[in-house]
Amino acid sequence: MAQFQDVSKQSALHPKPAGLVLQYGTAGFRTNAKLLDHIMFRMGLLATLRSKKTNATIGVMVTASHNPEEDNGVKLVDPMGEMVTPTWEGYATQLANAEQEDVLAALKEIIEKEAINMSQEADVFIGKDTRSSSESLSKAVLDGVSALGGHNKDYGLVTTPQLHYMVRCQNTQGKYGEATVEGYYTKFCHAFIQLTKNASNCTDDQKHLSVDGANGIGALKVRELESHLKKELHISLFNDGSAGKLNHQCGADFVKVQQNPPTGMTVNSGERCCSFDGDADRIVYYYTDSEGHFHLLDGDKIATLISTFLKELLTQAGLDLEIAVVQTAYANGSSTNYLEETMKVIVRCTKTGVKHLHHAAQEFDIGVYFEANGHGTVLFSEAAQEKVQQLTEDSSGERKRAALLLQNTIDVINQTVGDAISDMLLIEAILAIKGMTIQQWDAMYEDLPSRQLKVKVSDRRVIDTADAERRAVSPAGLQEAIGALVRKYGRARSFVRPSGTEDVVRVYAEADTQESADALAHEVSLAVY
């Protein structure tokens, strides 16, 4: 077929370095940008097949998130804006690793296995972050799409969650919003403005927020967002990409791991600050107190704030909807304890990686999911959304007010994936409505001191875990050794897991003092060797 001749011709222009093996991991493909040209071309091919198969628009995002500037990566987005399914992750790995002369055969194998009708039309949406390599890599994706006769829409520079949003809007015929960047701002900012109308006596000081844009795409988009905020939020933007390097000593990952403010930002004592990561799908908040101590409000604190707010609204609205918080093993023990014991909400723990949390959250009327690193969102079931909508029409007084607040909360959230901009608007609205300072939010519960370490081992795959990564089942004896170490300390917990993005084993420990958490993490890392 002529179609496949085009693929052969184009594929030769995007050759694979012989012997290179890469895997579609938790965050898609991610490595040094110089190794990715053939991967991009092939992901263009695969997205086109996926579009034909699902008869829907598929997204391809070129980004390496919080990785250094020299890296890049690519992720596929499924029709409802969610991560691509595990079977297709497998195809992605197969196609990426086929040697140059075997690309066609690998492609045909997928077509056959999935019984894809090649005469079906295909549509692919493409976005990229601000890395210098993203421009040419996204062109390679476009080559892949056109080689199989697919149509494309290139959104250029967008955040990862913006691209997820576009895909969902397109495939729900506008029901979720308009599939344009302008439509994105209009939807989320309108809901934000509606919410803040419920905040009485908010001073200009309370409306002020310092944002660290990680010198990435999030910074560009915050600038665009500002004009839609009608002065309901006053943003001071730092690390806007004009001088600093992407993710270098700044951004959500740096702040979370280093437990320090980013460089390039003025952090005045007591002031509310937040950091985005390099593709703006993560956010963490922080402040320094009058003694200069740094206080981090991570994904666990964010989940707690949001679920408290939602639970109060459900009570006021008299709506009986089941709400759950989904976390990973990295969630601070204090947060889990507070959610279960004080707030009495259901808490679920899943493996690391957004797709696992997202999936678990879908099982509830309202599923709030956050990784401690600041990636998260809230999912509302169709039925829950309908009930809220109905109540806005059928009720009056306090109940109607609560129902309208719930409705606008649903609309300010990007339900496709964690989104720093949309999460920021929701958090700012909640703090304003509750008249809450960042210090009061921080005081909801006190984090247990914790420590994360990484250990280089010859083969990280010898470590196998169970129980949402909280228990090591191999090698033999490791879990018993960890258990014995944990018993030495007060309120202690520790686990190890092979990283899905780096060639290391990660160690997590928490305990009643920082010294104990540090010592425990160190001892457990010795047990891993």
Helix (H) / strand (E) element for 331: namely: none
Q: Is the peptide bond before 475 cis (omega within 30 degrees of 0)?
A: yes
279 binding Zn ion? (CB under 5 A)? yes
Between 282 and 493, CB nearer to Zn ion: 282
Instruction: Select from ligand 16G, Zn ion, none the partner in contact with residue 27, using the beta carbon and a kind-dependent cut-off of 5 to 8 Å.
Output: ligand 16G
> Looking at 277, 423, 442, 447, which residue binds Zn ion (CB under 5 A)?
277
| DSSP SS3 for 376 | strand
d(Cα 392, Cα 400) in Å, to the nearest integer?
Answer: 5
Token code pair at residue 154: 């290139």
Q: What is the dihedral of CA 503, 504, 505, 511, to 10 degrees?
A: -140
| DSSP SS3 for 97 | helix
Residue 252 CB, nearest approach to Zn ion (Å)? 8
> Looking at 89, 129, 212, 281, which residue binds Zn ion (CB under 5 A)?
281
Residue 45 CB, nearest approach to Zn ion (Å)? 25
DSSP-assigned letters across all residues of 280-314: S--EEEEEE-TT--EEEE-HHHHHHHHHHHHHHHH
365 binding Zn ion? (CB under 5 A)? no
Q: Which residues bind ligand 16G (CB under 6 A)?
A: 26-27, 352-354, 371, 373, 375, 499-502, 506
Between 210 and 501, CB nearer to ligand 16G: 501
Residue 529 CB, nearest approach to ligand 16G (Å)? 19
DSSP summary character for residue 460:
G
Instruction: Select from Zn ion, ligand 16G, none the partner in contact with residue 334, using the beta carbon and a kind-dependent cut-off of 5 to 8 Å.
Output: none
Instruction: Select from Zn ion, ligand 16G, none the partner in contact with residue 506, using the beta carbon and a kind-dependent cut-off of 5 to 8 Å.
Output: ligand 16G
Residues 62-121 that bind Zn ion (CB under 5 A): 65
DSSP-assigned letters across all residues of 217-268: HHHHHHHHHHTTSTTSSEEEEE--SSSSPTTTT-SHHHHHHHTSPPTT----
φ, ψ (nearest 5 deg) of residue 467: 55, 55
Dihedral (CA of 417, 419, 425, 426) sign: positive
Residue 65 annotated to the active site: yes
State the catalytic residue, choosing from 8, 11, 51, 65. Answer: 65
Instruction: Select from Zn ion, ligand 16G, none the partner in contact with residue 502, using the beta carbon and a kind-dependent cut-off of 5 to 8 Å.
Output: ligand 16G
Between 166 and 345, CB nearer to Zn ion: 166
Between 127 and 150, CB nearer to Zn ion: 127
d(Cα 347, Cα 372) in Å, to the nearest integer?
Answer: 14
Between 66 and 272, CB nearer to ligand 16G: 66
Do β-strands 283-288 and 294-297 pair in parallel, antiparallel, or remain unpaired? antiparallel
Token code pair at residue 22: 């890469």
Between 11 and 416, CB nearer to ligand 16G: 416
**Segment contacting Zn ion (CB under 5 A): 47-55, 177-185, 239-247, 280-288?**
280-288
Residue 282 CB, nearest approach to Zn ion (Å)? 5
Instruction: Select from ligand 16G, Zn ion, none the partner in contact with residue 261, using the beta carbon and a kind-dependent cut-off of 5 to 8 Å.
Output: none
- Residues identified as active-site: 65
Residues making contact with Zn ion (CB under 5 A) = 65, 277, 279, 281
